[in-house]
Structure formats: C-alpha cells, structure tokens
Structure 1
Amino acid sequence: MINAKMPKIWYGGDYNPDQWEKSIWDEDLRMFKLAGIDVATLNVFAWAKNQPDEDTYNFDWLDEMMDKLHEGGVGVCLATSTAAHPAWMARKYPDVLQVDFNGNKRKFGGRHNSCPNSPTYRKYAARMAEKLAERYKDHPALLIWHINNEYGGAGNCYCDNCEAAFREWLRARYGTLEELNRAWNTSFWGHTFYDWEEIVLPSGQSEEWEGMNGRQATNFQGISLDYTRFHSDSLLECYKLEYEAVKKHTPDIPVTTNLMGAFKKLDYHKWAKHMDVVSWDNYPRFDTPHSYTGMMHDLMRGLKDGQPFMLMEQTPSQQNWQPYNSLKRPGVMRLWSYQAVARGADTIMFFQLRRSIGACEKYHGAVIEHVGHEHTRVFRECAQLGAELGKLGDSLLDSRVQSKVAILFDWENWWAVEMSSGPSVALKYVDEAHKFYDALYRLGIGADVVSVEADLSGYDLVIAPVMYMVKQGVANKLEQYVGAGGTLITTFFSGIVDENDLVKTGGYPGELRKLLGIWAEEIDALLPSQRNRIVVRDIASGLKPEYECGMLCDLIHSEGAEVKAVYGDDFYRGMPALTVNKFGEGEAWYLATSPEASFLQDWLSQLCASRGIKPLVPSVPEGVETTLRTKDGQDYLFVLNHNADAVTVELGDRAGVELLNDRQLNGGKAELAGHDVWIIKLNK
C-alpha cells in the first residue's frame, strides 16, 4: 500500500490554510471530520510564505498546521512548494525567468514560471525540499512527499541556459557532430553543423512556427523531437533533485508528483521510473466521454506495471477554466470517484478542500464552499463518500486490475506523429488510441494502456494504433510476441520512421513489413467531407457487408497476408483495407484506414471472442462501465451506471455481496439506479 500508516483508501485533497486567518483553521478541521477526510495536501504554493527572502525561512505556520492535522486524525501529503518561485527570486536572479517561443523574456507572474535549467532555480528548489525533509522527517502526520505540482504546465523555455544545456544533452545522446548530422538529416536545406555552438533551439526564431489547428510545425522534425525530449528530461532532472533531497532524510516515505493524464509535453513513461507511486489530476469536461476518462486512469495505472495509483486531484463540483463550467450533477462526483477506484486508484482526493476567495481559482469547486458551512449539497455528497470509504477499509487496497488486452501508447511516437509535415492535420494520436479503447469499453472488455517497453507475454491481444515510429528493438519484440502465439493489431501510418524520425527506406511499413506481410505503396489523405468504404469479403465473420472509413487510406499490397476487406471506392477500389498475416503461432492484423466506430466494435467483438476474451458481464447496457480488481484471489466487480436513469444489468453467474449497501446480488438481472455504482465482492 502507499503508506501503512493509513491502511485505507485515502480521502482528502489540497488544503491551503496559508490563504486563511487562523480563526478558520479549527472550523475546517471540524468539517473535515464530518466529511471523513483523513489526508490533506499542504504547502503546494507556499514558497513565498516559507522563504520571504534569500536567507530567511519561516515554517511556523506549517509546524502548527502539521500538528493540528495530526491531532485531528488527518495525515499529510506534504508538497515542496516549488511550483512557483517567489517574486524576490525573479527580481534578484532573472535567470529563473523563462524566455518564450518568440524570444521574449518573461517577467514574474503565473506559476510553473521557472526555467528548468536555471542554476538559481535548481539550487533553491532542492534546498527548500531538503529543509522541509530535515524539519518534518519524524513528524507522525507525514504520509507522502508531493514534489512541485503539475510539471510542464507553462510553456517551454528558450533561454541561453536552456540552449547551452541542450547542446550538452545532444553531446551525450550522439557523441559526435557527424552522428547528429546524420540523425537530423541536416544535408537537407544545407543545415550541416560543424561546431556544437552553431546549434540553436528550435523556436519561433529558428525552425518552428504555429501550424494549422494549433499544432507545432517545424522544418526539421529531428531537431524539434530532440528538443521535446530534452525539455521533458530537463524538468525530470528538477524533480529528481528534489526527490533525492527528501529521500536523503526520509528514505522510507514515498515520493510522487501529480501527472496530468495524456499530457503531451512530458514522457510519463520515463518519469514514472523515478516515482514511488504515480499520482494524477483528473478533470474531465461535462461532455468528456466516460471511456476517455477510463483510458486516462488506465494509462496512469500502466505507467508502473499496474501498481495502484493516487487520484491526487479532481473537483467536488465544478471547474473554472473551461469554456462552460458545469456543475457535477447529484451523484456524479461519487460515481466518477469510484470510476478511479475501479481502475486502480487507492486514493480519492480533491482540489480543493476550502474554496479560495480571490484570483483565478476562486470559482473552482471545493468541499467547503464560500458559504463556509456543511449545509450544502456538495458537502453532503462528500460526507457520504467519506463514510463509504471508511466502511470499505482496506478491502480494496493493493488490489490489481488484470487485462488480457493491451494498447501500446508511446509519448515519443505521439510527438513525432503530430510534428509530421503530413499526411493530414486531422490525424491525432491520442484520438486514434481512444477509438480502440472506446470500442473495447463498450464491449465490457478491459485493456491495459502500456509502454512499448512493457512485457507483452501476458496479453492475448496487443493493439498498437498508428505506430509511426518504430524504435530500435521494437519490431523484434513484436515478432517474438506474435511468433509465440499473440495477436497484434496495428494500423495505417505505421512503421514509417525510426526514433530519429528518419524514414525507413525499402517500403512502408519498414521493419514491420515481414511481420505484417504487406507493403504500403502510398497514403491518401481524405478531406473531412470525403469518405470511402470498407467492403468485407467474409460476411460469415460476423461483420456487416460494409462500413464507412476516412481520414487516411493506405494503399497496400499483400505479401502473404490474407485480405479480409477491401476499399469500395476511388481509384484504389478493390485494394486491401484489412489484412491478417500468420506469423509463427500467432497473427498480425493491419487496418489500413480509419473506420467508423461500429466497425471497430464489431471486429474487436469477434476477434476477442475467438481468443476467449470475454466481457465481465454477459451484456453491457449503453452508459454502463465494468471493471474487476483482484486481491489475494478475491475478485471485486465494479459496475458503474453513467446514465441519469436506472438500467437493468445482466450479471449472469456473477453473484456476491455488494459492499456499499451490504446486500446480496445473486446474479441474473438486477436494476442499478442512475449515477450509481456497485462494488460486488464476488463469491469464490
């Protein structure tokens, strides 16, 4: 478990007593107890309060609050406060200030406003983390360290310090200028470098500009790809400095930093290797598909091989930065909280516990609203959830989600796909991954979302959408997986480039050509108004005769693969649109175009059934989500109704005790109320 000091699902969130007079503190603690809150995240943005000048540190307020929380039975997730440097630091040491994409030096303001390669920032951030660790290393309230906050939330930095650090990063990566010139293909446009000092950052002053649909556009994908890697690594180095500072004094206290789901700027697979536990902040919109939120939970769980994660932030009611900040309807906060638990969370925490009165987050929801008392709908719902979590105790802690399907997700591939100067601005990597995830979700079939480095041997089906970049060794790994009996699906625009975004000559899909048994000759990009058709050859497969497709259409030739469907229109009518290639004991499928949603659902249903991959319940009504967590041989079935109205769920032979209401469910059909959830401890 995250910390044995508190052997239950943690319940709480961000608390900012430094924003309030002391007269409020005791009232907050009274209401925390009413709501069942047992963990508070402190000190997230208190750097300026803790260190009013270069030489002065003042933790008196924090001492008092740590003691008060402990006396009240509340543990502390202690942040290092380094997510926003103080104003005095920006004035005295301007190297901490970022330079933006167009070369403008920023002034003090905002948050995440520090240059990650500033010697001043790194020095004082690590020093603050160490002072906190020295002071609170033996405090009984301390449960976990929270380094910084939502790294990468501001723009990238393009200052001279970053440029010098980038050159050193490149030296370490490539060794010689000759290898760098090869990797970047600098003979194009006469960009050959003869001295490391000639290399400048790719920015609005050099290689990049804002492209269509807000996408990053660049003349040299290799340069921009490496800068993106470098920026992620630079922030990671800042995190590691603080990690090491607190571990020096508290080696047994776990350390985390809050991630943000599919956040494009940082390679979370690389970051997770340096985190004791993954935590993340979940802020879906009112209309975000529930399957997308589920995929984000599964992505976070997959960062550390299925280890339970922390839901560090969500809102109890409404957000404040979206165009339309809708309230969460009655029951939805509870439902979405249990969605996180169903997919591997061992904490439910909020931003924030008391609503701020000023600045840009004063209308962001909180457990304690501006009215200041417990007689609100939001507080009552929070208190209900707190009571339920207390009742669940440690029954679900450290239980795992087990899947037979994996979806490969790779940040560097994402960067490369969307830095590409073609073939279509409509191609969005995360959306393509979500299409497959959503189809499985609607079928009631779970999927892990994992790195290309993950062990694939335990999966019956592996899906690699838009595997544009094939890194060194990955093709061999996939061949071994399929050869040993696995089933692989990949799609259009796959096998095109290596890790430097250099095209693999000899025909697409490059290193995957033998495995897939096809050759892709051309790639057609369709306008949003254009559609083609997938015409199924074998209707006995359970598929409909035809489906719509669009966006991209690979024009492929079989080199041994069996053609399962062809295109129905245009000059490539009759060419393969779906193929399968027998390889060793397994098979590899290639979907050459982006199909309508019903195709994926029909196809994956048949494919999973043929491999013995079954839904958790016999039928899944629209809007109902199912997952399974397992601990010590005991299965816990979650059934969540995202509909406002009641639905009838066919449980089949799934019977057991529903833990939230202490009632027996004997399988068969049962009615689940709107926005309600079952956690069923299944009979063995």
Structure 2
Amino acid sequence: MNGSQRHGPTRVPGLLYGGDYNPEQWPEQVWAEDAALMKEAGVNLVTVGVFAWARLQPAADRWDFDWLDRLLEVLHAHGVAVDLATATASPPAWLVRAHPEVLPVTADGVRLEFGSRQHYCPSSPHYRAAAVELARALARRYADHPALVLWHVHNEYGDHVTECFCPRSAADFRRWLAQRYGTVERLNAAWGTSFWSQHYGSLAEIEPPRTAPGPGNPTQLLDWRRFCSDALLACHRAEKAVLDELSPGVPVTTNFMSMFKALDYWQWARHEDLVSDDAYPDPADPRAHVRAALGYDLMRSLRGGAPWLLLEQAPSAVSWRPVNVPKPPALRRLWALQAVARGSDGVLSFQWRASRAGAEKFHSAMLPHRGTAGRAWRESVRFGAELARLGSVAGGRSRAEVAVLLDWESWWALELDDHPSARMRWPELLRPWYAALHARSVPVDFVAPGADLTGYRVLLAPNAYLLRDSTAHWLTRFAAGGGQLVCGGFSGVVDEHDHIHPGGSPGPLRELLGVAVDEYWPLPDGATTPVTLADGRTLAATLWSEWLESLGAETFARYTGGPLAGRPAVTRHGTAWYVSCHLGAEPAAERETGREAGGDPGAGTGADEGIGAVLDAVLAAAGVTPLLELPPDVEATVRTNPDGVAHLFLLNHGRHPVAITLPDRWSGAVDLLTGARAGDTLPLGPLDVAVLRRWHHPTAAPSPTTPERPEPR
C-alpha cells in the first residue's frame, strides 16, 4: 500500500510533512521559490498566517486578503496544502491603542505592553469580538479554497499569558463563580472563608487572587486555575464555532504544548477535531526522548487513541534556551520518527524559512539562512523522501494495557502553597513511573478521571492529591473488577474544594487500600531513606515518606532506616497497591547517562531501579508483558491500521549499535525505510530507526524490490 492510498487526519494522503510558513516576512518574489523548494523537499502541508493579523487587517475598517489569495494559489499550484491560521495570537497595534484594556494585567497590577505576542486579556470583549470577526472573514473567503485542508486557531494558548487580573477579568471570574456555586453562601462553604475572616457578603466583593500580604485562600486559587483554563477555552470555542459554521468538513485544531500545567487538555481536546502538539526536546538532555515519549503518549490519549499531529518541532536548535544546542542530523530524524511511532500522522517544523529579523531569527528552519547550501536543507529533503515511504502508517493506532491517571485539577491543587513539601510537583512525581515503563517497553495510555477502563489491566496514579468521591468510586470499581491499581503517596488528601477528607488520607480510598496515613514525613533536599523489599533488595526513597498504618493491607516493602524504620512503605491490599514514598531513582540504563529520568535529587543504591522494582511486581500480577525484549535505550511501538496492517517502530536512542531479536511474527517483515527484509535479528546503528510492516499473510507481502500494492481481501 503506498502513501497515496491512505488518508490521515486531513484529505492529504499519507503522512503530513512541512512547517510554519511566514511569507509576510519576505518579498513576494520569494514565494514561488519557496513553493518550488517545498515540492523538492516533499512538503505537502504548511501552516500559514499564524502571526499575520496586522497584515490581514491593517486597520479596524480595512482588510487586505489579496496577498493571501496569491500565496494560496502559488502553494496550491505546487501541490502544497494549507493549514490556515486565524492569526489571533497577536493583536495588532491599532486594536490595543484603540482599546488599551485589551492588554493583560499581572497580579501586581502591571499592564503588559504591546511589542511581543499574546498581549491580550482572555476575558476582553474587544479582543474576543475582533478575533471572531477575523476568523469569520477568513472562513468566508477561504472555506472552499482547494488548498485549505486544516484550520489552525490561534497559537499555543497560554504560552505567555495564562491569566489576567484586570477589572474585566474580575467581572468574568465573578460570573464564572456564580455559575459554579449559585449563591455566596455555597461559595463561602466551599472556600472555607471562616478561616482568617475571609467571609464574603456577596459575590460582588470577590476579586481575582491578586498579590496579597500573605498566603491566599487555596480554594480561591484552585478555582482561579479552573477559571483561567475555561476563559482561554472560551476564546478558542468562539473562533471554532465560526469555522464550523462557515467551513464545515474542514477539521479544526489548535496547537497544544505537551504536558502543560495551565490548561486542562482533557477539556480542550473535546473541542478539537484533531489534537496537535508543539514539542521541543532539548538535544543537550540525553534522556529528553523519554520526556518526549511521555508527551506524545498524552497527545495520543487525549482523544481516545486517535492519531494526532506534531505541528511544531525544531529542525535543529531553538532560540529561547540559555544555551541552544543544535540537533545532529541523526537526532533530527530519530526524534521526528519517534513522534510518528507514538501516534502522530505527520511531522511539521517551526519553521520553513529562517527569519532574518525578530526574536526568533536564530531559531533553526527547514530552509536555513544559508539556503540550499545549508546542511539543514539537505536533511529536510532527505527526511521528506523517507517520510513519504511511511504513508501506510497514517491512521494507525496503538494499544496499551497500562493506564496512568492524569487529573489537571489535582495537579493544580497539589502545587498550591503551604503544603508539607513544596518539592511534590506532579511532573517530577510522574516521570520516574513513566520512565520505568518506557525502559521496560510497556505501552502506556493516559486517562482522565471517570474514563472507560475497558482493556486496561493496570491503572497507575502516581499522585491523586485531590480526589473526588466519584473518582474514588471509579478507582474502586476498577480494582474490584480485578484491575491492578497503584496509588502513590500524598493521595486522597483533599476533596474538590481542597478540604481535607475526614479522617485524613487516603480519604475515600482508605478501605480499598487498607491503609491510613498517620503523618506526612517529607524528606529534606538531598536526603534519602532506605526502603527494603521482602526479597532483600533495598531502594532509596527521596522527597517524601509517610507514617503508614496498615488496616488490613500486607506489607510489600518497609522503611529500614530513619524515624520510620520498621513501618510499611509499600503495601498491597488485594489488587490495590499503595506506595507511600517517592521512589524516584531512574532505571539502570538511564543512570549510565548521569541524568535522572524524573529530574529528582537522590538516587538508589546498588542495583536499585526505584519505582520500577514495585511496578515489576504489579505488571507480573496483572499478566502484562513487554512489547519486546529490547537492549537498553531502544524504544519500540506498534501502530495498527483498521485493516490490520501493523507497523513496528524500533528506535535506538543509544550511542552504540545494537542487535534486536525479533519475534517470529516480525521476522521477514519489510523495513520501509531501507526496503530490506528483516531476519530473526535486526541490527540497528546508533540513533537509527527501523519501521517494519507486517501484512495479514506474510506470504502475500510484496517483495521489497517491487512496487507495493494492497493485499486483496
């Protein structure tokens, strides 16, 4: 099956390839040259107009679409499809000068100025009206243009401005609170305003949580986080509604930013036709691919396993880190294919042609400052040809038996102030758990509270600080049905109002887990405490520990040093496990790099694999086995198309060649990147990739030297 016979998330056949194109930065005579070079590189999709508001609408009463008309015609003539942006991420100067209240205000009362991007208050009626008007004008003009295959709303919501504290935002916050609570009496009860004389006589007395003399009300801060995510989502939904009305059938996306705290992407993904992501792993971090894999698994999970799209990545160096390390050629290819391996139906970059001016002029591009003489250009052409060979991957899905609970509300609540330890941050708690599964080649999905858990054998909750009763019932049903449930420490602490559960943690999970937490025992920076398993292996806990009382749970591991010596550290109660400490050591293969998977201080001793030692027992109890037995630093995924054709991706993130023993079902499969047929053992060089395709009946698979056709049904 060739790429032209399978469609991904748009009507463009095969996998998508291209990047952000900003033609407004260049003389018009450059456009035809760019389009010709795009065709040479195999580019089939470019994102256009992301920051073109001032060019499209030079004044409140004046529009200029002629240049965009000509551009789209040039691109279409060269076979390049368009992801057309609504250009609303950067309001033009005329708008903010006519309505200065559009500009956002910080918690300290400082109004941020024009001259960068995302300089707007999400609640501003002037901004929202102007943004919707622009989206409507674009949709009316281009809804039926043959080049248009995808709408791109805004750009990276929340990247610079996630909140605004102006009077308009305050009024919008009060409206949101009225919808949530109905009466001020219910709000006072939820916010616990009897503490510190914070009682409100009416909703009109409430302001956003601006800078105050001391700690703020934690429930108010939690509600503020909820409101800010909703306020930005309202902006997105207003634009999408216009596009859906005037341009039905053309999918709509907005680019996410991997695991981004400020926005509840579960809520946002409900309003996406296609989830897209911007990912910028750091080439200076030898474990960056593990964090990237985590983000890609999240993107795939946001819409129930549907393919997503890598809308931005850097061809080489970025321009915004303190030190911007370039990508070696092999790493650019490896990391791009990693995204495809984990569910992306394409690879787009920021950007196509390197800018000569502006804040991102040192950011790499597919066509660098040297033009076609630069190595980046040669790599762009080479990779475009390779990606075209993988067209049959488009639309493929992956299957996992392990799920990880990700609750944005709990994340927000966990990282509020005045907790036993400020070191308990959700990403740092999650990463060692994920890294252990990644090192074991165990596929992972992320799930929201209340999600359908059919098909999952293991559910991990590295932290569930905020736990609603409904979520506790959902977890209990999973374990009662035979699923292995693992909860990390500091879980089941508060309800949805950030009020401590009666009787303390783990709150409504106490009976299920068979334990009670008597006292939290956080560890100072750099300190560790030993935790010994029944088989005698000793792990090292960092950051966190708890004085745990068993209420029927058996002890899987004990504290064997310090003030908690002899007390349970990890327990099991039927199919429900509780890990009361942070076992944040990295897997052994990762220790060789000198960096920790979770970014945490401290590590284990001897052969310690931290949380992995616990998860091994959980996986064994659940009957979950690795996708493949792999050498260290090799990653494997499988994407299967609706017709049953499967693709096995093997990625060597190490700096040494490896030999991978293939199961019988993959022996003889064709490597789409080389055309070679795999044997029982597959050699893979440093930073190299193989993509094997398995047909329904191996004997019917085409020869790697002949044109490929779909197998007859």
Q: TM-score, normalised by structure 1?
A: 0.95
Q: Which moved more, 1:490-499 or 1:646-655?
A: 646-655
Q: Quick check: 1:407–1:433 contact (8 Å CA) kept in 2?
A: no
The answer to whether the 8 A contact 2:99-2:126 is kept is yes
Percent of aligned positions with the same letter in both sequences? 40
CA distance in 2, matches of 1:253, 1:670: 42
Residue number in structure 1 paired with 2:4: none
Tell me the distance in 2 between the aligned counterparts of 1:4 and 1:422: 47
Judging by fraction of residues, say which structure has more strand: 1
The whole-number CA distance in structure 1 between the counterparts of 2:92 and 2:303 is 34
Residue 497 (structure 1) aligns with: 494
Q: Which has the larger displacement, 490-499 or 285-294?
A: 285-294
**Matching of residue 177 in structure 1 with residue 184 in structure 2:** yes
Aligned mates of 2:95, 2:463 — CA distance in 1? 45
After TM superposition, the structure 1 = structure 2 runs for residues 8-47 of structure 1, keeping only pairs within 5 Å, are 8-47=14-53
Any idea what the Cα deviations from partners look like across 1:487-540, whole Å, max 9, x if unmatched? 000011000001111111213100111110111100001112321111112x1x
Equivalent residue runs for 1:14-163 within 5 Å:
14-155=20-161, 156-163=163-170
Distance in 2 between residues matched to 1:476 and 1:602, nearest whole Å: 28
Query: For residue 661 of structure 2, what is the amino acid of its counterpart?
Result: E
Distance (whole Å) between structure 2 residues aligned to residue 153 and residue 529 of structure 1: 32
Tell whether the 8 Å contact from 2:10 to 2:150 is kept in structure 1 after alignment: no
Match runs of 1:355-394 below 5 Å: 355-372=354-371, 374-393=372-391
| Corresponding residue of 2:572 | 580
Partner amino acid, structure 1, of 2:307:
P
Of 641, 645, 659, the match for 2:672: 659
Shift in CA distance, 225/4, structure 1 to aligned 2, threshold 3 Å: closer
Q: Which runs of 4+ in 1 moved over 3 A?
A: 1-4
SS at match of 1:331: helix
- Counterpart of 1:164 in structure 2: which amino acid? A
- State how far apart, in whole Å, the 2-side matches of 1:478 and 1:675 are: 40
Residue in structure 1 matching 2:467, options 467, 470, 479: 470
Amino acid at match of 1:497: V
Q: Which amino acid aligns with 2:582?
A: S
* Other-structure match for 2:606: none
Equivalent pair of 2:403/2:447 in contact (CA under 8 Å): yes
**Structure 1 Cα separation of the partners of residues 693 and 679 of structure 2:** 12
Aligned residue for 2:689? 677
- Please give the alpha-carbon distance, in whole angstroms, between the structure 1 residues aligned to 2:526 and 2:154: 45
- For residue 214 of structure 1, what is the aligned residue in structure 2? none
Q: Is the 8 A contact 1:2 1:277 kept in 2?
A: no
Partner residue in 2 for 1:215: none
- Paired position in structure 2 for 1:517: 514
SS in 1 for 2:466: coil
Shift of 1:93: 0.8
Pair 1:459–1:207, CA change in 2 (3 A): farther
Give, in angstroms, the shift of residue 376 of structure 1. 2.2
- Are 2:251 and 1:260 equivalent residues in the alignment? no
Q: CA deviation at 1:5?
A: 2.4
Of 115-124 and 526-535, more deviation after overlay is shown by: 526-535
Given that 2:330 and 2:688 are in contact with CA atoms closer than 8 Å, whether structure 1 keeps it comes out as yes
Q: Distance in 2 between matches of 1:274 and 1:182?
A: 32
Write the deviation string for residues 595-626 of structure 1: whole angstroms up to 9, x where unpaired: 133032233233323432111222x2221111
State the one-letter code of the partner of 1:302. S
TM-score of the pair, normalised by structure 2: 0.91
2:171 corresponds in structure 1 to: 164
Unaligned runs of 5+ in 2: 1-6, 587-608, 697-713
CA distance in 1, matches of 2:126, 2:686: 54
Shift of 1:410: 1.4
Could you tell me whether the CA contact under 8 Å between 2:484 and 2:622 is conserved in 1? Answer: no
In the alignment, is residue 641 of structure 1 matched against residue 655 of structure 2?
no
Contact 1:207 1:220 in 2 (8 A): no
Q: For 1:609, what is the secondary structure of its paired residue?
A: helix
Query: What is the CA distance between 1:276 and its match in structure 2?
Result: 0.6
Show the counterpart of 1:594: 582
**C-alpha distance in 1, partners of 2:404/2:336?**
24
In the alignment, does 2:260 pair up with 1:248? no
**Whole-angstrom CA distance in 1 between matches of 2:281 and 2:576:** 35
Give 1:670 deviation, angstroms: 2.5
In the alignment, which residue of structure 1 is the partner of 2:345? Answer: 346
Q: Do residues 337 (structure 1) and 336 (structure 2) align?
A: yes
SS in 2 for 1:347: strand
State the distance in 2 between where 1:680 and 1:452 align.
35
Q: CA deviation at 1:472?
A: 3.7
**Shift of the alpha carbon at 1:4?**
4.9
Q: Distance in 1 between matches of 2:103 and 2:483?
A: 51
Asked if 1:565 corresponds to 2:577, the answer is no
State how many pairs are aligned: 661
Query: C-alpha displacement at 1:683, in angstroms?
Result: 5.5
Match of 1:422 among 419, 422, 432: 419
Q: CA deviation at 1:652?
A: 3.5
1:194 to 186, 195, 201: 201
Q: Is the 8 A contact 1:2 1:254 kept in 2?
A: no
Q: Shift of residue 672 of structure 1?
A: 0.1
Tell me the alpha carbon deviations over residues 270-314 of structure 1, each in whole angstroms, 9 at most, x when there is no partner: 100011110010001121531111000001111111111010000
**Which of 584, 603, 606 is equivalent to 2:617?**
606
What is the Cα deviation at residue 146 of structure 1? 0.1
